[in-house]
Structure 1
Amino acid sequence: MSEPIYVIGHQQPDTDTICSALAYARLKREQGADVVPARTGALNPETQFVVDRWGVEIPVLLDDAAGEQVILVDHNEYSQTVTGAENAEIVEIIDHHRIGDIETSEPILFRNEPVGSTATILTQLFDDANETIPTQTAGLLLSGILSDTVVLRSPTTTERDRAAATRLADIVDVDYEAYGKELLTQKSKVGEKSPREMVLSDFKEFDFDGQQVGIGQIETVEPSVVLDQQDAVLETMDDVATERDYAVFLLLVTDLLEEDSTALVAGPEVEPVEKGLDTTFTDREAFLPGVMSRKKQVVPLLEDAFGANSA
């Protein structure tokens, strides 16, 4: 009996990555493949709400992918993927982020599109395969889109995201604005976490011209819950930056109602962050008006700044 293929998203899984793994596994099974949805870690409160709301089983935990066949969704960088991915056979990638450093020995299906959510791409893949989207799966896909685009308010949102969300909301018979507000409420349950859990709950690591940079994001309707604990949060960020030898650890505390962010910083290389984001940190804090998207409004600017800094 052959081993299954695991569909798995990035570390510190968010709602889009879990819903994409579940939905794509469903599509691949409909096409006759032996595929299992998987995850790299625990679900956050929003994602737990989603799987409960739509009555699906939590994907299996895959601690080490070495020797396994895997399909990567919602990421394509080794620094963000499951342990052992370098020694796994990566057979497909479905993503909406920048092209990273993953290499394969043979050509694979690699679908990468500039949309606000991997779930938007998967909605199209169901259409491409002439497969009907079941209600349960439509609920997952809608959740992934609304979560990753902050209910279609993020600057990463495209017309394709809006069209897909409208269509999926019709399938499941919900008002996506009302449902989106439920997701935002769940997303904002950061006060129940320890400082370390907060700063690492939505976290990605990047290699910018040979320097390791960690960028976390806390999306909330109550940023004061985080900022009132700023000393403890900064101390935790210092610990993480030291443990992982980061040039910089940047944390975005994003106010979902005001649609802006407060940035906190740790690590020795603050100057390129200030240059890239065109800001100045005072007491390791900077206000970033209008900044909501790590992917579109932060990562490209820091990548350029760190590259220029080393030139």
Structure 2
Amino acid sequence: MSQSTYVIGHQQPDTDTICSAVAYARLKEKQGADAVPARAGELNPETQFVLERWDVDAPSHLEDASGEQLILVDHNEHSQTVTGAREAEIMEIIDHHRIGDVETSSPILFRNEPVGSTATILSELFDDAGETPSTRTAGLLLSGLLSDTVVLRSPTTTDRDRVVAEELAEIAGVDYEEYGKELLTHKSKIGEKTPREMILSDFKEFEFGTHELGIGQIETVEPAVVLHQKDAVLEAMDDVATEREYSAFVLLVTDLLEEDTTALVAGDEIETVEAGLDTAFSEQEAFLPGVMSRKKQVVPPLEDAFR
């Protein structure tokens, strides 16, 4: 019996990660592969809404990937992979982030492109294969695309994303602007989360030279809900930075309506973060006008500052 291949995204999965895993597994199945969608963590409220909206089961939670075959979507850095990925066989990578440190012993398909979402690339892979996604799959891909590009408002958005969004919306039978507003409402739901749960809900770990950083992001239409808990949030950030020996922990509280960000910082390298982001922190807080994208506007300058 052949071994199943798990299609899986990064830890603290977001909507693009989950929808990409499900959609690509469906495409691989159409092509005769034994592919199974999986996830490396718990679902956020927006993703739960999307799966319910399109009547799709949540991918199974893969707790340890040791000895498994994996297709990585929406990431390519070991600091973000599922536990056991270093002991797994990486078969393919489909991503839209910077090139990380995942190595393979044999050549693989590695498709990495500067677009706003992994879902955009996967939509084009369906086209390349001569396959039209079903209504449900198109709905998932549209959800991932709109979520990652903040309904095509993020600076990461490209013309390709806009074209693909229109095509997917037509297949799914929705108006992408109206559907996008629903997504933003659910993306903003912080619910009854503790400060620690909030800061780790959309969180990625990065290695910049000899430094390890944690960068979290909370995208919301009500940033005051987070910032009113600033002392408790900073305490949680300090705890995580100490536990994981980060040089710094940066939290981006992004206002989806005003399209700007308030950054909070913890750790021993605040001055380096200030230099990277070209800002000054007062009481561990700084305002970043026009900043919405962790991938494009925060990670690159911090990487330069810490190397």
Q: TM-score range by the shorter chain?
A: over 0.9
Looking at structure 2, the residues matched to 49 and 24 of structure 1 have their Cα atoms a distance apart, in angstroms, of 20
Q: Which residue does 1:139 correspond to in 2?
A: 139
Normalising by structure 1, we get a TM-score of 0.98
Tell me the TM-score normalised to structure 2 length. Answer: 0.99
Q: Secondary structure at the match of 2:265?
A: strand
Query: Counterpart in 2 of 1:111?
Result: 111
Aligned-residue offset at 1:86? 0.5
Partner of 1:263: 263
Aligned equivalents of 1:271, 1:247: Cα separation in 2: 11
Give the drift of 1:191: 3.9
Match of 2:16 in 1: 16
Cα offset, 1:3, TM superposition: 2.0
Moved >6 Å (runs of 4+)? none
Counterpart of 1:215 in structure 2: which amino acid? I
Deviation at 1:147, TM superposition (A): 0.1
Distance 1:47 1:143 in 2: 9
Matches within 5 A, 1:131-280: 131-280=131-280
Confirm or deny that 1:28 pairs with 2:28.
yes
Alpha-carbon distance in structure 2 between the residues aligned to 1:300 and 1:12: 21
Q: What's the counterpart of residue 86 of structure 1?
A: 86
Unaligned runs of 5+ in 1: none
State the number of aligned residues: 307
Please list the CA deviations of residues 54-85 of structure 1 after superposition, one character each: whole Å capped at 9, or x if unmatched: 00110011001010000000000000000000
Report if aligned partners of 2:113, 2:121 keep a CA contact under 8 Å in 1: yes
CA contact (8 A) 1:249 1:265 kept: yes
Q: Which residue of 2 aligns with 1:298?
A: 298
State how 1:61-80 maps to structure 2 within 5 Å: 61-80=61-80
Task: Please give the alpha-carbon distance, in whole angstroms, between the structure 2 residues aligned to 1:199 and 1:8.
Answer: 22
Counterpart AA for 1:69: Q
Name the aligned partner's letter for residue 140 of structure 1: L
Q: Indicate the percent of aligned positions where both proteins have the same amino acid.
A: 77
Q: Partner letter of residue 182 of structure 1?
A: E
Counterpart in the other structure of 2:45: 45
Task: In structure 2, list runs of 5 or more residues that go unmatched.
Answer: none
Letter in 1 for 2:163: A
Query: 1:94-149 CA distances to partner (integer Å, 9 max, x unpaired)?
Result: 00000000000000000000000000000000000001111000000000000000
Kindly state the Cα deviation for residue 271 of structure 1 after the two structures are TM-superposed: 1.0
2: CA distance between counterparts of 1:292 and 1:306?
21
Counterpart of 1:281 in 2: which secondary structure? coil
Judge conservation of contact 1:13–1:43 (CA < 8 Å) in 2.
yes
Deviation at 1:2, TM superposition (A): 2.0
User: How far apart in 2 are the matches of 1:285 and 1:162?
Assistant: 34
Report if the CA contact (8 A) 2:234-2:266 is conserved. Answer: yes
